[in-house]
Every structure is written in structure tokens, then in C-alpha cells.
Structure 1
Amino acid sequence: MLFNSLEFFIFLPIVFTLYWLIGNNRIKQQNLLIAVASYVFYGWWDWRFLFLILFSSLVDYTIGLKLNSEDKQSKRKVFLWVSICVNLGFLGFFKYYNFFVDSLVESFTFFGGQLSINTLNIILPVGISFYTFQTLSYTIDVYNKKLEPTKDFLGFMAFVSFFPQLVAGPIERATNLLPQFHKKRQFVYEHAVDGLRQVLWGLFKKVVIADNCAVYANTIFNNQDDYSGSTLLIGAFFFAFQIYGDFSGYSDIAIGISRLFGFNLKRNFAFPYFSRDIAEFWRRWHISLSTWFRDYLYIPLGGSRGGIKMKIRNTFIIFIVSGFWHGANWTFVVWGALNALYFLPLLLLNKNRVNTNLVAEGKYFPSFRELFQMTTTFFITLIAWIFFRADNVTNAFIYIKNMFTANLFTKPEILPMTILGLLIFFLAIEWLGRSGEYAIQKVDFLKKPIRWSFYFFLVILIFSFTGEQQEFIYFQF
């Protein structure tokens, strides 16, 4: 069930109405409704996925209790590794089995050998990478005694399957979201209005920006040999805004819907394309995943506390694993490694924490230095996105090679002025609202006629320029 589908626009008001009719004094009944609604929402794609998420919930709920009752550290470690192996085992089988088989066969062929292993016709469960990491955060935090295990299985089921963020995040920490299922949720009108405002902006990002950019990005990437370097640059540019509008739009909708039910999710994007270096970009892009890898992988590996060799090793591990998390293709591995190369000089020169303040704070326009930094950071990010979007590594290199030719500076064959105008409007609103949690949050401070005129204008844009419906990109991850 897609957020931008008719089914969801029927589903959400029904669940919302029943949820608050139950009353906030009946926490268990509300949690039951959320769990049932979430399973309906998830089963809309394929009912067989439900057994997987239910089994994952049972395993981690049970292990959480075992970790709490066991004092012997060696046994506690065994329980932790059972959780890790079960969760990553499911993830590895459904997402990476065919990739590893194909890679192994190709390796043998490269060295003159022959290996016959059949791949399987495996359906990738939607959002498995997201809820797997969410449940892992629970068992790891219980193991490290940062969180008391829950004895409320119904609340835990609702936490794992919470439908607004189930299939594409944000990846919530158990320490933040799980306790919210154990306490009363109050309906606060101002919070609900703020949630609806964020949903509206998320829908605009998705159906106007991302879906329209997708049409041109797909056309250019799928026919890259037919276009000039300037058009290939435009294609990469459109994909950069497709993936940003698509993913951050989903996050905005998820966070906004959660507020309607009295829940607060963590911020997932903080205007990443206004970053002045790649370190700042990664503090602002997919924050829930970046911080997950930082806390559960990078820091346990030693982080940046060791010598130069350890810093280099840990940096490449974190970025390559992050790339591999996104998909079973060498393009994602190269994308991760390329971002590690971008990041490494800043880390080694101890400049990865230089740009922590708001860009052009208190000003309408950035300085020339800030503008240059933002442009440079966006461009190298755009180059990395080519690997993310390409079907394979060879095509990515060919795309870049063909882009950097003499006709890079000629007029592009594809230059849709309407979409470019919408992108300029989008960037202007994002820039003006960059100090908020999301771009149009501060519209609430405008006078009522101006505020409602702006909302009405966004609705008109959504109905007038809704692009060809595209599935959310991160559903495949």
C-alpha cells in the first residue's frame, strides 16, 4: 500500500478515527489496533511477508527477556548472537543469496574454472532492511543494558510493525520509539496540524518533484548512449532530486502521520544538498541509518580513536557496508567506497566537524565561499549517485566517461523548463525553511490568509503536476 495511493487515503482516516475513539486510557487496545492495521498495511504487498515479520518479532522479544534474566556474560553473548544471526540471516538470504551465488560463479569463470550453482526465485520482502535493523537495535541495547526489555508482546509487535515507518524508515531506535507504546498518547491539535503540514510537504516532494524527475532520469539513464554529455549531466541532476524528493518525502509523510497518532519519530533528513562538505552531507542524509552504523558498527570497531590505519579501515568498512545495505549489486559497493574516499581526507585532516552550524545562518543568501562549497559538495555527490542509479559498474563508468566530453557544454537535448521551474521553487522553499525540522514548518508563523494561500497553492501544484506514479525507491532496500 503506497502512501500516495487511493487505498491509503481510505485506510488512514479509518485507522485514525478508530484509534482515537478507543481513547488514550486504553493503551493495549490502541496498540492492538496499530498492530492489526500495520499487518494489513504490510500484507497489502504480499501476505506471505507477514510470517517473516512476526517470526522476527517473536525471536527478538524472547531474546530480550532472556538477556534480562541471564547474568552470565557468556550466555548473554550467545543470545545476542542468536538475534544477530537470525535477523542478518533472513536479510542475507532474501536480499543477497542470488548476488553471492552469481558473484561466486563469475569468480570461478574469471579464473578458468566452472561452478554450477542455481539461483533461486526469491521475492524480496518490502522494507526488510529497515525493520531488521530496528529490531537489532532493541536486542543490542538490551544486551548493553541501555534499555529494559519489554514484557508487553503486543506493544513490541506494534513497535516492530508500526506502519508509517515500517517499509522505508526512519529506522527507529528502540530506546526512542518503544517506550512510546507503553504510555498514554495524547491527541494534541497543534501536533496533528504540524503532522499534516509535514505530510503535505512530503507529498509535494514525492509526487511533484521525485516522480517528475524520475521520468527524465529514467529516459536518460536507460538510453545513455544516445545523449550528449550535457544531457547526461542533466540526467544525473534529475536523479539526485528524484532520490532526495522520493526518500525524504517518504520520511516527511511517515513522521507527519506518526504525529497524528501521538508518536514522535526521529528526523531523517536535514536539507543535505545545502551541505558544505561530504561529512556534513552524511550528517544530514538518511540520519537514522548513518547514526545506526555509527553507534552499532563504527564505534565498536574503534571509530576514529586509533591510528591512521584504523581510521582508514573503519571509514571504508562503514561506507562499504552502508552501500551494501542498499542493495545486492556491486554498484552500491562502489558508491559506498567512493563516499569513503570523499570523506577520508576530512577525517585524516580532522576537518570532518568544521561545518556543524547552519549554512548562512541569519542570512538570506550564502557567502561566495559557502556557495562554492555547496556546489562542489553537490557535484561530487551527483557523481556518486551515478553509480547508485546505474544497472552495473561498467555502465556507470561509461556514463561518466560520456558525460565528460566536449559536448558537456552544449545545449542538452532534454531540458524540461516546467520541471526546472518546480525545482527552483522547491529549492527556494527548502532554503528559506532550512532552520526548521522540515521546510514549511515555519509557515505556521505567517498570518492566516498567507498561510492558507500557501497550503492551497501546494495542493494545486500537487494536483496539477503529479507525475507518473513511481514506487518509492527505498522500498527495494
Structure 2
Amino acid sequence: MLFNSIEYVILLGITLACYWICPSLRGRQWIVLLSSVYFYMSWSKEFGFMLLGVIAINWIIAGRISSARSRSWLVLSCVLNLALLCYFKYMNFFLENIEAVARFEDPSFEIGLLKIILPLGISFYVFELISYQVDVFQGKFKHEENLVVFAIFVLFFPHLIAGPICRASQFMPQIHIKQRLEGAHFYNGLYYFVAGLALKCGIADGIAPFINVIFKTPEQYSGFDNLFAVIGFGVQILCDFWGYSLMALGAALLFGYVLPYNFNAPYSSLSIKEFWRRWHITLSNWLRDYLYIALGGSRNEAKWKIQRNLILTMLLGGLWHGASWNFIIWGGIHGVALATNRWFENSRSPSSFKRVMQTAPVAWLLTMVVVFVAWIFFRAANVDDAMMMLERIVIPSAEWTQTKLAPLFFELLVLYLPLQWFVHYTTYRRDITTAFPWLAAVGFASLALFSYIYYVDGNDFIYFQF
């Protein structure tokens, strides 16, 4: 059930009506929980029951962690959650690599792959469960004894499939409050939802067909077309995931719940470190707090260990996105870039050289080169296709400037620039319902009109696959 489908709008509308009509807090909690269970089971009943079992087991173990303060229970919970993730997401990747190595000795060797379906949202809810267990163990959050509230924390359908990744301290206290229907929350919720729809169905889905054909056969297109396919994918994935996140925030606001923002104009970053403070913010914070710091972080560590921790964190962050060497390379590029960024900031390079490299145009260009080169590996079907695309882009040829791209592609790229600025300004930077009421009305009407004119149906959200 996609966010941009009529089925989702109907479910959201019915749930909201029942939620606000219900006079009791407990009744509202059950309404949200049952709708969330229905939302997930509309995709798969089997995986829905599995998720309910995972929630129950984690709730029981968290109770033991809270009462016994035993590291053994924490380790058990992490092992169980990661084992579940590894089986569904990485088992065939592991078998494929064993088979590839074995074929050096025996070219006819076949290990056979398993028929595994990846449960929707597994990467997100596993990370949320691990963060909850760690926070309970460290005493940062008291264990939630109400299983319904705990289940809503994991299952809440607006953010279940692709985040944002919520912390218990951010979301659970809100579930315990009987929310009041506030005009600002309700209007902002609708506004965020329409803004996300405009980004997703107007820009991301409109650009997608042009990008898909070039990434499928990069050798058949010129360097110019390959370059703009990469730029287009950078725009597509931002608008797709940012659009989803805004729709999730908007739907949550309609219930009175405030979820964390996930994007803050990442393509305006002047360093790769700043990029990761602005891109997929909840994942970046999770990797920092539960992986980078666990590896040793940057406290009392030798410089090479800090660089190692950065690279390892991003390699594992890349692997989190998918079972593919492409994602590992993508994470490695960002890891090396972060390590280099940190080294450069602390290096004794000539001050004049540092000033030049840190001027806004140079710093922005270097950052974007790293980000968009990495996007090639993120999007390409395999390493060979990624290298072919890089080759077509960087090696001059007689047909380099020729293009097969339709004018609509460039039209959408141009429209993206004012749209992303306006959406960012009116969602992240300002509350337009209180600051500029007239702008709120104009903005809502403009985004709705844009969504209607450029609406493209039928594309899943990119991060649903993770």
C-alpha cells in the first residue's frame, strides 16, 4: 500500500476519523495499532505475524534488560535482531560470494540460492529495536511496560516502511498523551503531505523513466546523457525519500505526533561531513550513536583509529542499504571522504591552500563530485555498469555532447530548483501557518496544482527496498 495510492489515503482518513472521535486514550492507541497492523498485513500476512512476534520477543527481552541490567540480555537481543536482518537481507549475498570464490577451483560449482523475500521495512524496524534495547540498558530510557504502546512505537504505519528512524525518547512519550486537535498541526500535516507528494510524484517519478533506461544500458548513451542521468538520479532519490519523509511527518502530525525531520537541504553542503548532517538525518545519527561510538568514536583514540572508525561505519552503513558490492563501494567512498575531510581539517597544510579549498564554490563542488560519483555505484545494477558510466562521462568522444533525453527531463530538473527551495523553507525553516498565513494558502494551492499537473503514478518509493 503506497503512500501515493488511494488505498492509503482511505486508510489514513478512516483511522483519523476514528482516532479523533474516540474519547479515550487507550481506545485511540488501539485504533492506531490495529490500523498499523492492517497496513502491514495488506502487503503480507505471514510477515505481519512475524513482525508481531519480533515485537513481543523484544518487549520481553527489554523487560529483562531493565530489571537485571545484564549485558547478556542486551547481546542476545542484538544478536536475534541482526540475525533476522542478516538472514533475509544478506544470506543470498553471502552464498553468492561463496559460490564465486569456489568457482576459482571448480568452475562448475553451484551452491544454490534460497528463495527469500525481503520483509518491508526490516532494516528500519530492526535499527529502532536495537536503539531501544541499548537505550534501556544504558538507562537513557525507561522500559515501556505497556505492550500496545511499545508495538505502536515500532508499527506506527506512517513511518513503518522507510522511517524516519525514531528513538523511543522521541516518540513513545507522545503515545501516552491524549493529543488535542490543533489547527496548526492539522494544517501542517496536510501541507507536509502535499509537499511530499509534489516531490515524489511530480519530480522523482517524472524523472525516473529517463534515468532508468540510461542506467540500464549506459554504453548506448553519450557522456552528456550519462552525466545528466547521474545528476537526475541525485535529484530523484532526494525528492523520492524526502517526499516520503515529509508525507510520513505530515500523516503523523494529523494524529498530533511529531516525528524527527530527515532532510535539511543536503545538496547545499560545503563538506561531506556537513552532507551527512543534512542527509537522512535519523540514519546518520543512528550510525553515529550506535555504531561509530561503539567502535571507539573519536574520543581518546589515535588519529588512524578515528579514520578507521569512520570508514568502517560508512562501509557498514553502505551494507545496510543493500546486499551488494555496489552499496559497499558507495559506503566506502563516503567513508574515505569523511576520513579525508577530518584529516584535512586537522592537517598542517599551508593556510593559503586551505582557504582556497574551503571557499564556498570550491568546497561545494568537491563535495558534490564525491556525492554524485558515489550515487553511480548506489544506482547501477553492478560494478561493471557503474565503471562503464564513469568511463562514458570522463573520457571525451566525438558524440559526447549528443543527447537522447526529452525536453521534459530538463524541464523537471529546472522546476526542481525552486520547488526544493520552497518546500525546504516552508517545512524545515519556518512554520508558515504562524509566520506567513497568506503564504501557507498560496503554497498549499501551488503544490497541489503542481502535483496535479506533473503527477506520475505507479512507482514504489526507492527506500521501500531497504
Structure 1 counterpart SS, 2:145: coil
CA contact (8 A) 2:4 2:197 kept: yes
CA contact (8 A) 1:191 1:260 kept: yes
Q: Which residue of 2 aligns with 1:233?
A: 227
Q: Which residue of 1 aligns with 2:328?
A: 333
Structure 2 counterpart SS, 1:467: coil
CA contact (8 A) 1:108 1:114 kept: no
Structure 1 counterpart SS, 2:345: coil
RMSD, aligned α-carbons: 2.1
From 264, 276, 281, the equivalent of 2:275 is 281
Structure 2 counterpart SS, 1:91: helix
* Correspondence list, 1:319-358, <5 A: 319-350=314-345
C-alpha deviation, 1:443, in angstroms = 7.5
CA contact (8 A) 2:127 2:165 kept: yes
In 2, the alpha carbon distance for the partners of 1:408 and 1:466 equals: 37
In 2, the alpha carbon distance for the partners of 1:440 and 1:463 equals: 25
C-alpha deviation, 1:12, in angstroms = 1.0
Q: Which residue of 2 aligns with 1:34?
A: 32
C-alpha deviation, 1:442, in angstroms = 3.8
Structure 2 counterpart SS, 1:131: helix
Q: Structure 2: where are the runs of 5+ without partners?
A: 348-357
Q: Which residue of 1 aligns with 2:355?
A: none
In 1, the alpha carbon distance for the partners of 2:68 and 2:264 equals: 41
C-alpha deviation, 1:239, in angstroms = 0.8
1:311 aligns with 2:311: no
Deviates more, 1:186-195 or 1:342-351: 342-351
In 1, the alpha carbon distance for the partners of 2:116 and 2:437 equals: 54
Cα deviation code 1:319-364 (max 9, x no counterpart): 0000000001110000000111211111123369xxxxxxxxxxxx
1:380 aligns with 2:378: no
Cα deviation code 1:231-286 (max 9, x no counterpart): 10011111111111111110000011101101111111111011111111011111
In 1, the alpha carbon distance for the partners of 2:366 and 2:340 equals: 15
CA contact (8 A) 2:207 2:412 kept: no
Structure 1 counterpart SS, 2:459: coil
Deviates more, 1:245-254 or 1:41-50: 41-50
Q: Which residue of 1 aligns with 2:352?
A: none
Q: Which residue of 2 aligns with 1:180?
A: 174
Structure 2 counterpart SS, 1:303: coil
In 2, the alpha carbon distance for the partners of 1:440 and 1:14 equals: 30
Q: Which residue of 1 aligns with 2:63?
A: 65
Report the residue type matching 2:286 in the other structure.
Answer: W
C-alpha deviation, 1:410, in angstroms = 4.3
Cα deviation code 1:435-456 (max 9, x no counterpart): 66437854764453x5433322
Report the residue type matching 2:231 in the other structure.
Answer: F
Structure 2 counterpart SS, 1:45: coil
Q: Which residue of 2 aligns with 1:17?
A: 17
Q: Which residue of 2 aligns with 1:365?
A: none
In 2, the alpha carbon distance for the partners of 1:10 and 1:374 equals: 43
Identity %: 35
Structure 1 counterpart SS, 2:45: coil
Cα deviation code 1:126-185 (max 9, x no counterpart): 110001111111111111111110110011111110000000000101121122222222
Structure 2 counterpart SS, 1:93: helix
1:466 aligns with 2:455: yes
In 1, the alpha carbon distance for the partners of 2:424 and 2:119 equals: 35
Report the residue type matching 1:19 in the other structure.
Answer: Y
1:195 aligns with 2:189: yes
CA contact (8 A) 1:180 1:263 kept: yes
Distance 1:221 1:5, change over 3 A: same
Cα deviation code 1:8-66 (max 9, x no counterpart): 1211110000000013xx22211111111001111111111112211111111101111
1:389 aligns with 2:379: yes
Deviates more, 1:408-417 or 1:173-182: 408-417
Q: Which residue of 2 aligns with 1:212?
A: 206
CA contact (8 A) 2:58 2:77 kept: yes
Cα deviation code 1:208-232 (max 9, x no counterpart): 1110111111011112111111110
Structure 2 counterpart SS, 1:110: coil
CA contact (8 A) 1:270 1:437 kept: no
1:99 aligns with 2:93: yes
Q: Which residue of 1 aligns with 2:140?
A: 146
Query: Normalising by the residue count of structure 2, what TM-score does the alignment of the two structures yield?
Result: 0.93
Structure 2 counterpart SS, 1:103: helix
Deviates more, 1:303-312 or 1:315-324: 303-312
Q: Structure 1: where are the runs of 5+ without partners?
A: 353-367
Q: Which residue of 1 aligns with 2:403?
A: 413
CA contact (8 A) 1:99 1:329 kept: yes
C-alpha deviation, 1:434, in angstroms = 4.8
Deviates more, 1:405-414 or 1:310-319: 405-414
In 2, the alpha carbon distance for the partners of 1:173 and 1:191 equals: 21
Distance 1:268 1:408, change over 3 A: farther
Q: Which residue of 1 aligns with 2:442?
A: 453
Q: Which residue of 2 aligns with 1:293?
A: 287
Report the residue type matching 1:231 in the other structure.
Answer: D
In 2, the alpha carbon distance for the partners of 1:447 and 1:135 equals: 40
Q: Which residue of 2 aligns with 1:361?
A: none
In 2, the alpha carbon distance for the partners of 1:374 and 1:176 equals: 33
CA contact (8 A) 2:222 2:399 kept: no
CA contact (8 A) 2:271 2:367 kept: yes
